[in-house]
Amino acid sequence: MQLLLLLIMILLPIIAQINVTSTFNKYSRVSNSRGLTADQVARMILDSNGLHHIQIEHISGNLSDHFDPQANVVRLSDSCYGLTSVAAIGVAAHECCHAWQHAENYTPIVLRSKLVPVTNLCSRLWYFVLLIGVFISSIAARAGMPFLYASIIMFAAVVVFQIVTLPCEFNASDRALKTLERDGILEMSEVPQAQKVLKAAALTYVASLVTSIIQLLRLLASARRR
């Protein structure tokens, strides 16, 4: 069973990443019928929701697109900015809908933002705390337990963050697809193509969460054995 769980932890994120890359590449070769670029669509969606103050920037990288709520900027990568593909437009619309979520104080996105500082700290430190606990436990078993449990609590905080992230991602994709269809940005035949791209991207978050939950269970089981 331990070997099976380990294989799932290793393979699931890899499969999800391969899926999102292949799906994006497939639909990055399909241009939208209106000839709109991803940054143009982003501006349209932001303006239609009264988010005129949100800027759009071009950044380097592939699928590194994101919304920065601190700077009020939607950043589109080389794989999206200035491109007319259905895949690029789907991703750009998704990121703009994160900005929309922040603007209306969508509960999961507000909670996620509040968890960011704690999660960043816990994600960086939990493994080091675990190693300290294992080292001390090798000398004096009970003395290392507080560190082991502290590392588990810290990792659990990361899992909670990932759980809160899921509704943010699914909701942003849902808003994006509805906007692309309602506003006639994509043709009816193109919307399902954008949907496949966004679904593949969402599944990477699901895979990450499943992997983290398995890791958390393994940590708890290891602590109980001690």
Catalytically active residues are: 95
Looking at residue 31, the DSSP 8-state letter turns out to be B
Residues β-bridged to residue 47: none
The helix-helix angle for 107-139 and 141-182 (nearest 10°) equals 160
* Alpha carbon distance 205, 199 (integer Å): 10
Closest of 61, 57, 56, 63 to residue 88, by C-alpha: 63
C-alpha distances in Å from residue 32, one per residue of 85, 91, 150, 160: 6, 13, 51, 38
177-182's contacts with Cβ under 8 Å and 24+ in sequence apart are 177/90, 177/93, 179/45, 179/48, 179/93, 179/97, 180/41, 180/89, 180/90, 180/93
